[in-house]
Amino acid sequence: MAKLVVCGRGGSGKSTWVVLLAKSLLSKGKVLVVDADESNLGLPLLLGIDPPQSTLMEALGGKNRVREALLKVLRGGERVRESFFEMGFDINVLPSDVLSVKDGLSFLRIGKEEHALEGCACPMGYLARDFLGSLKGENLWVLVDTEAGVEHFGRGIVSEVDVVLYVAEPALESFLLLEKAKRMTEEAGKPFLVVGNKVGKDTEEIFLQRLKEGGVLPIGILPHLEEIKVSHLLGRPIELKHPEVEKVVTSLEGVLYGINP
């Protein structure tokens, strides 16, 4: 099993890359997409799969129940592990109202913010880490779509995956965030890979130079693509097949086979 977290700044194209990779990786085995973004709602539409009726957090008793488990861990320190899952559990044990399945592709949502003043999203982060750390499976690719920024690093989600994939775009804030994400990935002891998104011919040279200055080279670059824009606008599945996506899959396999032979 290979677990990959996709991160980047808001609007960079994280969900786009999750969808493109998920559909490409179906030729390699089963794929589980984990929606760990507590705000966005459109990912299942782009995947072409029905959203589950419940989030994982709702199925486990709601936010207050998860918060109680988190507080118990915080009070007990490293001596306490309050888990909702048996170590080594399989996704097939999850009920159908939590896990949507279609043609080898599975999808679940960790949890969503639903009400004003309900509190922070820390319980979702705790649950995502617990889920990813307990999950086992053969011939399974796990892609985690995260919220914008680097908060998931602080929540420890990155410690439970094999590779961090950063989606960069030609914008100053994207490069600044890349530096921080790269440093935090190195602190977690994980491989850090970069893909480019929405890179035009007029910006590609500068884009590549900025990445080189940051000590990274992209394993794939996508330009502005009208087909993707239309899918996002209308909530339609992204069906694009692009050679750059296949390059990224090949690079991921090269890195991951060294981790999970």
Under DSSP, the state recorded for 37 is -
If one counts the domains in the chain, the total is 1
3-state secondary structure of 27: coil
Could you tell me which residues come within 8 angstroms of residue 75 by beta carbon, excluding any fewer than 6 positions away?
none
Is position 244 within any domain? yes
- The answer to whether residue 60 is domain-embedded is no
Task: Flag whether 61 is in a domain.
Answer: no
Residue segments in the chain with a per-residue pLDDT below the cut of 50: 79-80, 261
Instruction: Quote the pLDDT of residue 82.
Output: 64
Q: What is the CATH number of the domain that holds 226?
A: 3.40.50.300
Q: Which residues contact 158 (CB under 8 A, 6 or more apart)?
A: 5, 152, 164, 184, 185, 188, 190
Q: What is the pLDDT at residue 231?
A: 94
pLDDT at 74: 67
Instruction: Tell me if 170 is assigned to some domain.
Output: yes
Whether 90 is covered by a domain: the verdict is no
What's the rounded Cα separation, in Å, for the pair 171 and 49?
32
The range of the structural domain enclosing residue 203 comes to 2-52+100-114+137-259
* Domain membership flag for residue 35: yes
Establish if 94 belongs to a structural domain.
Answer: no
Assigned domain for 222 exists: yes
